[in-house]
Chains A and B, each alone.
Chain A
Amino acid sequence: MSVQEVLPLNGVVTEHSGYYRADHLLVAEMVKPGSKVLDVGCGDGDLLQLLETRGIDGRGIELSREGVNRCVAKGLAVVQGDADTDLVNYPDDAFDYVILSQTLQATRQPRVVLENLLRIGHRAIVSFPNFGYWKMRLQLLIGGHMPRTENLPATWYDTTNIHFCTIKDFVELCDAIGVKMERAEALDLYGRPLRLRLPWWVWNLFGEQGVFLLSRGGRKS
């Protein structure tokens, strides 16, 4: 993941700014200070640490034992668990935000996971790699092989990512299950947000990843 050093972010005061991932900084900006957050697939806990600098009560779930233990050793409230099977154990409305960062494409049932995120949290923040990104399209069109990028270097037989989608696909899923999009951002390869007010097809072509702030109550189509 690329390192973002210049994205301005109110409230983030840390000696480590510049080492945070671009999508993490954007996510942190979307979360209201003082709220309660569950980070699903929290990895080494970098995002949770960033959120804690903003006075946010953060909890995490992580699949890998090594990741969990590194998080707990940082003093974070993280448990070992699987987004596909363990979200059902959380009660309704337990969190203000539930974050799924770069993990949706690795779940077995993305739709069920998304529904659970918005059952547990009042809002969900979801980021994922955009398979409609032009480099991806080009590799498939010209190269004739499954795309690999700097951020997704695994071969098709090694990857844990089993449910890739495009930004357009994701927007259609949100419409289908009645999820309201409060905010959408597309980031370029270097994690910089694309300029606003561009048509969807531009985002779907030039956004390397999408970051969405979602809430309940969109219209089901």
Chain B
Amino acid sequence: MVGVKSIPSPAISADDRSHEVDHPSSEVAHFGANQPLPLDCGIDLSPFQIAYQTYGELNAERSNAVLICHALTGDQHVANVHPVTGKPGWWDTLVGPGRPLDPSRYFIICANVIGGCMGSTGPASINPATGKVWGLDFPVITIPDMVRAQAMLIDRLGIDTLFAVVGGSMGGMQVLQWTAAYPGRVFSALAIACSTRHSAQNIAFHELGRQAVMADPDWHNGRYTDHRIHPHRGLAVARMAAHITYLSDAALHRKFGRRMQDRELPTFSFDADFQVESYLRYQGSSFVERFDANSYLYLTRAMDYFDIAADHDGVLAKAFAGIQTRFCVVSFTSDWLFPTSESRALVHALNASSARVSFAEIETDRGHDAFLLDVPEFFDISRAFLQSAGKARGLTSKGD
């Protein structure tokens, strides 16, 4: 028989991950029966909780708050060591001392999205009605639902207007939803590698990922926690497929080419002979250590449903009519998941609304993932945009 090695089981126990779901290593805002979250599907979610991290101090005028919206598989641990993986924050290239988002200057907030699995209420949380994990009984949520929950958190924190809302990919969708739903509460918006609607190709990739999860026999129709098991193989395959879409042909070729993994010759088996295979398997297996399979189904679904124009008679410009928010839109040349054409359509709509918008396309071969990587031109643009918005907002600090 031809040799084959399956994806290894997670090194971190499921208990570590599930502990974060209900008892996150973050601040938690609880919303009781008197403050339900009205969802787009018609259900009121109550009670619910939001786990969030903050960096820096809110100033006396309450004018320096920045909300960071995380992407599909991100979480609130932007710039601190991750409590499950022990890795550095996912955006500590952008957030930190001397970075474009410096906590000495801004009060930076990042909340785990509703439907997530790092402490905000989601399918991995306990359903108070049954005392068991929600699983597929959790209502389907949307990007507007996530943003509505964030607005409740911002209210709770006593902040009226956010100085900036910042995010890439699904985070960028939330940024745009913030400006469409609460234009008066967003002074400036930095939307990176995103779109006002999820494309057919992107929905197709998400469906592939969901089917991979659901095809795993360990998934048990979403009730895997009852069996004290996690469909890690299905979720890892979903992550592997998605990860390819975050990169580019050129970046894969540059990083791996056709190079072999720790061997000179092919083994004539289905082992990971190529470096690129080994890399993808690593991406898959490390992802399942920190992410809940059902959460992945719900969050990909939320992205699929996203279409701002659909909520405004199909005319995107109507969503931004008369908006005073300062926009900066950034795309990357090699991003084929959220290509520049999507950003350009957004910019056209913003122009038609006479919004103040900057738009830069950054040359890189690193694909969609570029927004998480060290791309100096992206940081320069982010820094300049935030500084110029800060000047208009009357924010001052040493160094100006």
A residues with CB within 8 A of B:
57, 59, 65, 68-69, 71-80, 86, 89-91, 94
Contacts and interface: CB of A to CB of B under 8 A. Distances in A.
A77 B357 contact: yes
A57 B329 CA distance: 19
B354 A94 contact: yes
Interface stretch (B16-24, B166-174, B211-219, B384-392): B384-392
Nearest to B345: A89
Contacts of B328: 72
Contacts of A57: 356
Nearest to A57: B356
Nearest to A65: B361
Given A68-B360, A69-B362, A77 B348 contact: no
A94 B354 CA distance: 6
A57 B131 CA distance: 57
A73 B348 CA distance: 21
B352 A72 contact: no
A52 to B, nearest CB: 9
A75 B361 contact: no
Contacts of A76: 358, 388
User: Lowest 8 CB-CB distances: which A-B pairs, in order?
Assistant: A75-B388, A79-B359, A89-B348, A72-B358, A72-B360, A73-B384, A75-B384, A73-B380
Contacts of A80: 344, 359-361
B267 interface: no
Residue of A65, A72, A78, A80 contacting most chain B CB atoms (<10 Å):
A72
Given A72-B358, A77-B358, 9 more contacts: A72-B359, A72-B360, A72-B385, A73-B381, A76-B358, A77-B356, A79-B329, A79-B359, A80-B361
A221 B329 CA distance: 44
A89 B351 contact: yes
Interface string B366-400: 00000000000100110011011101000000000
Interface string B341-353: 0001001100110
B101 to A, nearest CB: 16
B357 A72 contact: no
A68 B357 CA distance: 12
Nearest to B348: A89
Contacts of A59: 356-357
A59 to B, nearest CB: 7
B352 A90 contact: yes
A86 B359 CA distance: 14
B363 interface: yes
A68 B352 contact: no
Residue of A71, A77, A94 contacting most chain B CB atoms (<10 Å):
A77
B326 interface: yes
A72 B351 contact: no
B351 A90 contact: yes
A86 B381 CA distance: 23
16 contacts: A57-B356, A72-B328, A72-B359, A73-B384, A74-B384, A75-B387, A75-B389, A75-B391, A77-B358, A79-B329, A80-B359, A80-B360, A89-B351, A90-B351, A91-B352, A94-B354
Residue of B344, B352, B360, B362 contacting most chain A CB atoms (<10 Å):
B360
A76 B362 CA distance: 16
Contacts of A75: 384-385, 387-389, 391
Contacts of A65: 360-361, 363
Residue of B351, B385, B388, B389 contacting most chain A CB atoms (<10 Å):
B351
Residue of B352, B358, B359 contacting most chain A CB atoms (<10 Å):
B358
Contacts of B358: 71-72, 76-79
Contact of B359 (A68, A90, A94): A68
A68 B381 CA distance: 10
A98 B354 CA distance: 13
B392 to A, nearest CB: 9
Contacts of B387: 75
A40 to B, nearest CB: 12
B354 A91 contact: yes
A79 B347 contact: yes
Contacts of B388: 74-76
A149 B352 CA distance: 39
B346 to A, nearest CB: 10
Contacts of B361: 65, 68, 80
A72 B326 contact: no
Contact of B352 (A71, A74, A77, A89): A89
Nearest to A71: B358
A116 B358 CA distance: 21
Contacts of A78: 358-359
A76 B327 CA distance: 11
Given A76-B358, A79-B357, A80-B359, A69 B377 contact: yes
A104 to B, nearest CB: 21
Contacts of B359: 68, 72, 78-80
Nearest to A95: B354
A69 B381 contact: yes
Nearest to B353: A91
B326 A77 contact: yes
Contacts of A90: 351-352
A91 B317 CA distance: 11
A71 B328 CA distance: 12
Nearest to A89: B348
A126 to B, nearest CB: 21
A69 B360 contact: yes
A86 B345 CA distance: 11
